[in-house]
């Protein structure tokens, strides 16, 4: 199977209206075979686990790579310098960033756009967007910057713009844009990194301002706070967004995505926390016992594993560091799984790294 063939097959698979377990499994096993053959570190990893295309018969048995491995290994089927684009994580551990190589962005975009239309646009053709994240030209290795650029280009109404530039947030510009939407009654979408909303909320509170966005407007956040702003609990955060912008919590959407995937997960609003999240038919998620990697029964909390067939050039099966629970219709996300400190007086990894960073 050549790269062109797998891309062609995947694009056709993404175009299907749905895929049942059997269809997903068949495609997943083909993608695994492709990655096993072309991605040398993944092949060694899988072989070490005794999981090869000859022994793996179910998609659930495809070995999942710990997400941290993207930092230390080059997990790419194509030669890395032939990639059209390399997405890198923003978070670094000791200066190392996780990387995902994309020989083409065709599959990534075919995954992103229809799902964004279905889960965010929900039948609307275009909407005026205000974006709280730097432009793609500033952050060429950010998958989120590309995501938001694509959203704006394909689904943004005229006048949609980015409000975070080299000098930070253009607060006055944004307030004017929001006031205009409020005055003209045109639905508005405010999209950005979760942490970018926090200083905005603070600035509005400081000025004693609230905005009443017209009906049909939405607020879209993603990525959590990542130490970039103070941490807010989910209820505190969505209550504040709802109060500040005059949109109900059911119109506050959260996207869960990562550099190490080519597809994203969405909820249908954050009326209650945590909401059920789900992805398109080319992604399936499992919840496993982190120690053994074994599937946990539905409803039990464990660590999320995502199989994203669109991430064909790297590794499709990723063991995340996120705690989750499988529920009817998708999964619930409970934030990061943190390692424990020592219960005694020995040094554990977190304290050691903190000291190493100074």
Partner 1 sequence: MTTFAGHLPGLDREDVSWRRVSYESWGETAEIALPDLTEAQARALCRHVRENARARLKRMDVARIVAAIDGASERLLDRTHPLRREAERMLPVVTGYDRETVRLGLTSYLKTFQRPQLLRFLAEDFADPGMLDGFRPARKGGFVRASGPDLLLHVWAGNVPALSLWSLVCGLLVKAGTVGKLASAEPLTAGWFAGLVAEIDPEIGECLAIVWWKGGEEAGEAAFLAEADTVMAYGGNATLAALRAKIPVTTRFLPHGHRIGFGLVAREALDSRRAMALARLAAKDVVRYEQQGCYSPQMIFVERGGGVAPGEFARYLAHELAALAHRHPRRTLSSGEGASVAAWRGAQEMRATGDAAVLLGAPEDPFSVVHLDAATPLAPTGLNRTLALVSVDSLDEVPALVAPHRAFLQTAAIAAAPAALFRLAESLASVGVSRLAAFGAMASPEPGWHHDGRFSLLDLVTMTEIDQAAEAAAEGFAPYVD
From 2, 172, 346, 358, residue interacting with partner 1 (rule: CB under 8 A): 346
Please give the DSSP secondary-structure letter assigned to residue 68.
Answer: T
Residues that contact partner 1, how many (by CB under 8 A): 39
Which of the residues 54 through 93 are near partner 1 (CB under 8 A)? 65-66, 68-69, 72-73
Of 2 and 292, nearer to partner 1 (C-beta) is 292
Residue 121 gets which letter from DSSP?
I
Rounded distance, CA 232 to CA 211, Å?
Answer: 21
Task: Give all strands (DSSP E) within 68-113, no chain letters.
Answer: 85-88, 99-102
Pairing of the two strands 276-277 and 283-288: unpaired
Instruction: Bin 242: left if φ > 0, else alpha if -120 < ψ < 50, else beta.
Output: alpha
Nearer to partner 1 by Cβ, of 137 and 292: the residue is 292
Binding mask 25-44 for partner 1 (x = CB under 8 A): ----------------x--x
CB of 199 to partner 1, least distance (A): 26
Q: Which two tokens stand for residue 272?
A: 């209650």
What gap in Å lies between CA 348 and CA 353, rounded to an integer?
9
Q: Which of 130, 119, 124 is nearest to 181 (CA)?
A: 130
CB closer to partner 1 out of 46 and 247: 46
User: Smallest gap, in angstroms, from Cβ of residue 354 to partner 1?
Assistant: 8
Told to check if 333 binds partner 1 by CB under 8 A, we report no
Q: Which is nearer to partner 1, 221 or 322 (CB)?
A: 322
Q: Site mask, partner 1, residues 291-330, x = CB under 8 A?
A: xxx-------x-x---------------x-x-x-------
| CB-CB contact of 144 with 108 (8 Å) | no
Other Cβ atoms closer than 10 A to 233: 9
Q: Which residues lie near partner 1 (CB under 8 A)?
A: 41, 44-45, 48-49, 65-66, 68-69, 72-73, 289-293, 301, 303, 319, 321, 323, 337-349, 351-352, 354-356
């Amino acid at each position: 199977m050549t790269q062109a063939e797998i891309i062609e097959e995947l694009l056709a698979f993404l175009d299907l209206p749905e895929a049942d377990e059997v269809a997903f499994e068949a495609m997943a096993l083909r993608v695994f075979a492709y990655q096993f053959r072309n991605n040398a570190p993944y092949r060694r990893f899988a072989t070490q686990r005794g999981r090869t295309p000859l022994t793996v018969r179910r998609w659930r048995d495809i070995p999942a790579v710990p997400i941290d491995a993207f930092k230390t290994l080059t997990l790419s089927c194509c030669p890395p310098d032939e990639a059209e684009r390399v997405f890198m994580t923003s978070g670094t551990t000791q200066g190392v960033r996780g990387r995902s190589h994309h020989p083409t962005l065709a599959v990534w975009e075919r995954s992103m756009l229809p799902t964004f239309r279905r889960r965010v646009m929900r039948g609307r053709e275009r909407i005026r967007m205000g974006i709280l994240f730097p432009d793609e030209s500033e952050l060429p290795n950010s998958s989120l910057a590309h995501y938001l650029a694509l959203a704006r280009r394909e689904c943004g109404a005229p006048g949609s713009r980015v409000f975070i530039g080299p000098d930070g947030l253009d607060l006055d510009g944004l307030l004017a844009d929001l006031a205009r939407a409020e005055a003209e009654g045109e639905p508005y979408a405010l999209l950005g990194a979760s942490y970018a909303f926090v200083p905005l909320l603070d600035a509005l509170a400081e000025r004693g301002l609230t905005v009443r966005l017209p009906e049909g407007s939405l607020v879209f956040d993603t990525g959590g706070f990542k130490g970039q702003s103070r941490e807010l609990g989910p209820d505190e955060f969505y209550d504040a967004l709802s109060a500040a912008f005059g949109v109900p919590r059911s119109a506050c959407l959260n996207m869960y995505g990562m550099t190490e995937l080519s597809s994203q997960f969405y909820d249908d609003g954050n009326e209650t926390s945590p909401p059920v999240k789900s992805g398109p038919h080319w992604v399936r998620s499992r919840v496993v016992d982190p120690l053994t990697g074994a599937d946990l029964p539905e409803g039990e909390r464990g660590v999320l594993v995502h199989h994203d067939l669109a991430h064909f050039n790297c590794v499709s099966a990723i063991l995340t560091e996120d705690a989750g629970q499988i529920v009817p219709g998708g999964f619930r996300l409970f934030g990061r799984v943190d390692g424990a400190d020592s219960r005694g007086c020995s040094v554990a990894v977190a304290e050691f790294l903190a000291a190493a960073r100074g």
